[in-house]
């Protein structure tokens, strides 16, 4: 990991800069007085880390800071109208421009967001008009249908953007001169996954933290791992030997009937606290897709391939034998996400596949845990993957009827660039073990995870309602995926063909 030392130094420098300027002896409620007051380069989502200080390094200046090559006076005096998710979405609201989840993120992220906004407005001479809307989907659709042109950039969840893309309601980002899609502040994994016939109508990247909030990692309870005398799990990751079989071995060792009652319950000790949705997470983290792309950038079904089907059936079989290694959050009393998380806090669960929304909550609670990437299928897998479920994950798009698409593209680029300088490093620091004494190993794990956030066009379009199908199979203990896919294959292929026709019909 070439970037680890550089990133750690950047985060420490940012914290030191803010403390020197702002330390008045007072402490915030979470004890966090740090902020990314100066930009720091950070590698995320499949991008190579920036370590060179050569002035001609693409998209960076001579100090390794991300920059655009725009004429910053071009749109002086203009206002950019951006609609984002409102507070009703709770932890999944947009905190990218106005932080609503202050209790989770504290001053570190708040100050980074404010600094990013300030830099964009001052350097480009524009005004950011941020509309946090609890009914973002209906508000945008009304604007699209009425032609009122209220929004220059829209940022709902990715599946909604996918639906509007197929309906022809969004601009093709590949046709905009001010959009440089190879820039490191866009997710190249998302660009590759969501384009069809070389047209791309939506994507995601550093402009939002919600793609990271919803990315899956594997948390482990440090105290329980120590009690079980497990080997150093970080070393297993770094050696490439952190595999599904290893996780299962340790999970079975950790599972024990400890509550004095006959039979396994949520009060016992468990290897893995999982959910019905995690079969797809394991499948994706093993490097498999629901759909892949051919040489013409057209999607085709791959979950029915022999190797993929066998792998998925093995996952479903394991998940059906839950009493030996795992329990489900859905088996706990309501509210299940609170009561099940409590078992992990109490040290009765070794592993928990978790989106980073839960990771942040556990950091606040002071739970002694570490962060790992999801395991590889086996040691032959070339790298670790972090599968991103898109139900609550935000992307961006430009409405087809906006008044000036090139202005919108220009501002997406400027905001994304400064978000990579300020927002992403601040969010990474939020999820480190300690704001004062950083854990180098957790930082390295975050790099591995956020560098390899994986997207799947089959997941975002949910062909054949495949996500619900897999969820239901885990819930019922059904592992006969071959039969299920045989019954769905024709309808899924028909949906894919329809999507291709919709994209190709636009000329």
- 54 within domain boundaries: no
Q: What is the CA radius of gyration of the chain?
A: 23
- Residues 411, 335 share a domain: no
Instruction: Annotate 39-68 with DSSP letters as a single string.
Output: ------TTPPP-----TTSTTB-TTS-B--
Bigger pLDDT: 450 vs 56: 450
- 29 within domain boundaries: no
- 150 within domain boundaries: yes
Range of the domain at 209: 64-213+391-431
What is the pLDDT, as a whole number, of residue 284? 97
What is the pLDDT, as a whole number, of residue 118? 98
- 53 within domain boundaries: no
Task: Name the E strands within 232-357.
Answer: 270-274, 291-293, 299-301, 326-328, 349-355
What is the pLDDT, as a whole number, of residue 20? 35
Q: Is the per-residue pLDDT at 35 higher than 70? A: no
- Residues 228, 193 share a domain: no
Mean pLDDT within 109-128: 98
Phi, psi of 454 (to 5 degrees): -110, 135
Number of domains in the chain: 2
The answer to whether 499 and 194 are in contact (CB under 8 A) is no
- Residues 279, 144 share a domain: no
- Residues 425, 351 share a domain: no
What is the pLDDT, as a whole number, of residue 432? 76
CA nearest 46: which of 172, 204, 162, 200?
204
pLDDT tier at 328, thresholds 50, 70, 90: very high
The answer to whether 433 and 364 are in contact (CB under 8 A) is no
- Residues 380, 254 share a domain: yes
Residue 133's H or E segment, with its range, is strand 127-133
Q: Is the per-residue pLDDT at 43 higher than 90? A: no
Q: Is the per-residue pLDDT at 137 higher than 80? A: yes
- 166 within domain boundaries: yes
- Residues 114, 179 share a domain: yes
- Residues 198, 220 share a domain: no
Q: Is the per-residue pLDDT at 441 higher than 90? A: no
- Residues 348, 237 share a domain: yes
DSSP, res 485: H
What is the pLDDT, as a whole number, of residue 39? 63
pLDDT tier at 360, thresholds 50, 70, 90: confident
- 233 within domain boundaries: yes
What is the pLDDT, as a whole number, of residue 467? 96
Q: What is the pLDDT of residues 232-256, one digit of tens each?
A: 999 999 999 999 999 999 999 999 9
- Residues 105, 188 share a domain: yes
Q: Is the per-residue pLDDT at 180 higher than 80? A: yes
- 48 within domain boundaries: no
Q: Is the per-residue pLDDT at 173 higher than 60? A: yes
- Residues 413, 323 share a domain: no
The dihedral of CA 419, 424, 430, 436: what is its sign?
A: negative
pLDDT tier at 7, thresholds 50, 70, 90: very low
Bigger pLDDT: 441 vs 315: 315
- Flag whether the pTM goes above 0.75: yes
Spell out the residues 6+ positions from residue 1 whose beta carbon is closer than 8 angstroms to its own: 49, 444, 447, 448
- 441 within domain boundaries: no
Q: Is the per-residue pLDDT at 42 higher than 60? A: no
Mean pLDDT within 282-294: 97
Q: At what angle do helices 466-476 and 278-285 cross, to 10 degrees?
A: 110
CA nearest 330: which of 268, 277, 260?
277
- Residues 155, 83 share a domain: yes
Q: What is the pLDDT of residues 188-238, one digit of tens each?
A: 999 999 999 999 999 999 999 999 999 999 999 999 999 999 999 999 999
Domain with 272 in it: what CATH number? 3.40.190.10
The answer to whether 387 and 450 are in contact (CB under 8 A) is no
- Residues 353, 423 share a domain: no
Phi, psi of 119 (to 5 degrees): -60, -45
Looking only at the bridges linking them, the beta strands covering 349-355 and 216-221 are antiparallel
What is the pLDDT, as a whole number, of residue 265? 81
Instruction: Annotate 211-224 with DSSP letters as a single string.
Output: HHHTBEEEEEEHHH
């Amino acid at each position: 990991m070439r970037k680890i030392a550089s990133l750690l130094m950047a985060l420490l420098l940012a914290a030191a800069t803010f403390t020197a300027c702002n330390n008045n002896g007072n402490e915030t409620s979470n004890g966090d007085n740090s902020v990314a007051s100066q930009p720091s380069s950070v590698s995320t989502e499949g991008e190579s880390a920036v370590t060179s200080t050569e002035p001609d390094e693409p998209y960076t200046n001579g100090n390794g800071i991300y920059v655009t090559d725009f004429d910053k006076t071009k749109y002086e005096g203009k206002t950019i109208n951006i609609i984002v998710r409102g507070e009703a979405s709770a932890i999944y609201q947009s905190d990218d421009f106005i932080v609503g989840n202050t209790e989770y993120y504290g001053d570190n992220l708040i100050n980074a967001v404010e600094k990013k906004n300030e830099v964009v407005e001052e350097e480009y001479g524009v005004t950011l008009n941020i509309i946090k809307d609890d009914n973002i989907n209906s508000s945008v659709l009304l604007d699209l249908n009425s032609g009122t042109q209220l929004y220059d950039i829209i940022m709902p969840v990715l599946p909604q953007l996918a639906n509007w893309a197929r309906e022809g309601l969004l601009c093709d980002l590949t046709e905009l001169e001010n959009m440089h899609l190879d820039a490191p502040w866009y997710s190249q994994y998302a660009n590759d996954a969501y384009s069809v016939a070389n047209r791309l109508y939506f994507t995601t990247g550093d402009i939002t933290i919600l793609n990271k909030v919803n990315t899956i990692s594997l948390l482990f309870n440090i105290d329980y791992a120590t009690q079980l005398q497990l080997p150093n799990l970080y070393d297993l990751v770094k050696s490439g030997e952190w595999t599904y079989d290893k996780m299962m071995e340790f999970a079975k060792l950790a599972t024990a009937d400890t509550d004095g009652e006959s039979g396994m319950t949520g009060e016992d000790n468990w290897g893995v606290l999982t959910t019905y949705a995690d079969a797809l997470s394991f499948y994706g983290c093993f490097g498999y897709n629901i759909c892949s792309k051919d040489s013409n950038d057209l999607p085709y079904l791959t979950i029915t391939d022999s190797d993929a089907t066998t792998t998925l059936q093995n996952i479903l079989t394991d998940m059906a034998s839950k009493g030996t290694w795992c329990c489900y959050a859905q088996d706990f009393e309501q509210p299940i996400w609170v009561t099940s998380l409590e078992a992990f806090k109490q040290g009765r669960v070794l592993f928990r596949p978790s989106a980073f929304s839960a990771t942040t909550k556990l950091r606040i609670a002071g739970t002694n845990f570490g962060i790992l990437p999801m395991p590889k299928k086996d040691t032959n897998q070339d790298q670790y993957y972090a599968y991103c479920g898109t139900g609550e994950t935000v992307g961006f798009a430009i409405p087809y009827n906006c008044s000036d698409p090139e202005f919108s593209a220009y501002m997406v680029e400027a905001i994304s660039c400064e978000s990579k300088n300020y927002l992403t490093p601040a969010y990474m620091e939020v999820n480190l073990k300690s704001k004062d004494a950083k854990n180098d190993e957790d930082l390295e794990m975050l790099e591995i995870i956020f560098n390899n956030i994986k997207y799947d066009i089959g997941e975002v379009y949910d062909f054949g309602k495949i996500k619900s199908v897999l969820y239901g199979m885990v819930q019922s203990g059904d592992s006969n995926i071959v039969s299920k896919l045989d019954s769905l294959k024709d309808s899924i292929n028909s949906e894919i063909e329809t999507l291709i026709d919709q994209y190709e019909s636009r000329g």
